[in-house]
Amino acid sequence: MTMPGLEHSEIDQSEHPQPVTAEAADRQLWWAAIKPPMYSVAIMPIWIGSTLAFWQRNAANPLIFFLFLGSAVLILAWENLSNDVFDADTGVDVHKRNSLVNMTGQKSLIFWIANGLLAAGLVGIAAIAALQQDLMVVWLVLGCCAIGYIYQGPPFRLSYKGVGELLCLIAFGPLACSAAYYSQTQSWSWNNLFASLIVGLATSLILFSSHFNQIKDDLAVGKLSPVVRLGGQRAAKLLPWLCGLVYALLTIGVMTKLFPAWTILGLLSCPVAQRLCETVGRDYQQPEKLLKCRLIAVEMHFWLGLFFGLGFLLPG
């Protein structure tokens, strides 16, 4: 299974035996900088929280769902752009060709565009709160935004201390899924909380996988990612266990009837997880071959989330 458009999201000349024109290379570079496939990271918590709300409480408000979806994409765009700005300040992206700051040379402009996207996203969340006459979704989303800032923003830069994956798990798991579920039901759910751990962990695997090809650059600026701390070999050996944990939680949820039986369809993403683990295990000493490692993790996240959420909608 291949996520549509995913195969061109990073520039890798080794996969283009024919000469690539300057115009085509420029398009690929912009595609990689904008990162369209990465926006499934914003979509899946909303998808899972909302489909679980439909299964558990027969709650389905399409207006709120699509309003939340659009807002989540805008807020993730803010995070991606602001991270480019903050990374430019530390020099960790000095060799990153697809950094928007490096490509445009307009750090201040990128920063203010990012803030505009955040404001637009929060307007959408405020609209949901107004429709519900309840501010809880606003507080949950502001919690996600706060984590998004302290992840990379000064003076915190907690990702440089090796806790980025944990922050990612919390923001895109319990907080985002709870916000999505609450937006439909104005209530809480242990089932949703358990499901959010699967979503959050799968999202953290994208971040974890992205570190393998930038160990030298991270070390140069003192960024102590988990892969830097563990070393490439040990981190590569840990990856299959982390992927296995995702699918173990899914299986436990089905067996304990926290989730309906059809959610086992999430296991259809296992071949992508296997490809991710095999790629990292084979090439962890050759970072130039791991440029697309993160994108395989995105593909796993996409198919897992899509089929997992679909399982809440199927009759049975």
What is the mean predicted confidence (pLDDT) over 132-149?
A: 96
pTM: 0.87
pLDDT, position 115:
92
Note the pLDDT tens digit of each residue in 46-100: 999 999 999 999 999 999 999 999 999 999 999 988 888 887 777 665 556 556 6
Please list, residue by residue across 139-174, b when 16 or more beta carbons sit within 10 angstroms of its beta carbon and e when fewer do: ebbebbbebbbbbbbeeebbbbebebbebbbbbbbb
Query: Is residue 5 pLDDT above 80, yes or no?
Result: no
Query: Is residue 268 pLDDT above 80, yes or no?
Result: yes
Angle at 242 (CA atoms; ends 240, 246), nearest 5 degrees = 110
157 or 144, higher pLDDT: 144
Report residue 302 as tokens: 């996409």
Note the pLDDT tens digit of each residue in 106-120: 778 888 999 999 999
Query: Is residue 7 pLDDT above 60, yes or no?
Result: no
CA dihedral 24, 25, 31, 33 (to 10 degrees): -160
pLDDT, position 173:
97
pLDDT, position 131:
95
